[in-house]
Amino acid sequence: MDTLVSTTSPSVPATLRTLYLVRFAFAAVWAGLLFATADTLGPVSVTLLVVYPLFDVAAAIVDVRSAKANGGTAPALYVNIAISSLAVLGLAVAATSGIPDVLRVWGAWAVASGIVQLVAGAVRRSLGGQWPMIISGAISVLAGTSFIAQAGSGDPTLANLAGYAFLGGVFFLVSALRLNRVRHSA
């Protein structure tokens, strides 16, 4: 999930670049760990499922502070924090019911956060490096819908969540690299 900041401060791309690089690294490690434990809802996989949206909340808080420090506003960041906080609670409860319920909650979170990411990327277009975030938001909406559909299938698995998180991380990496290019060409 990306975040929304409305500002033109030159330090915003540098802050976003760092945040995006950290988010890529986190997503890559998280995806590998979840993929290794995706067969069942055990203590490790449940912890990972809850930690991912918690990390999203933390990243949004960092983004809010950066936006405020640079004189910007961050209205969608608060929406992101609320959505991801609800996802933490929803996933904790859903994990007690089984993988299908986890997929439904994750899917709803992916759809809602994808919409916010689409808006955030569109608003931040002038900063550069946002097309990957816009595309990622659209993919998140589609993936969330597929997770909800997969929940009703005969053999639901958490493995697709790992792929989704890794792909999202790749989009953060691409955005970070594009922001770096924009910064050096300015």
Q: 99-123 and 43-69 are packed helices; what angle lies between their axes, rounded to 10 degrees?
A: 20
Nearest to 166 by CA among 55, 58, 25: 25
pLDDT the model gives residue 126: 73
Global pTM exceeds 0.75: yes
Which structure tokens are listed for 36? 């290794």
**Segments of the chain scoring below 70 in pLDDT:** 1-12, 73, 127-129, 180-186
Say what the pLDDT of residue 34 is: 97
Pair 117, 168: CB distance under 8 Å:
no
Host H or E run for residue 92:
helix 75-94
In tens, the pLDDT along 57-104 reads: 999 898 888 877 777 767 878 898 999 999 999 999 999 999 999 999
Grouping H, G, I as helix, E, B as strand and the rest as coil, residue 16 is helix
Q: Are 111 and 143 in contact (CB under 8 A)?
A: no
Pairwise CA distance, residues 89 & 128, whole Å: 34
Name which of 117, 125, 177, 173 is nearest 143 in CA terms. 117
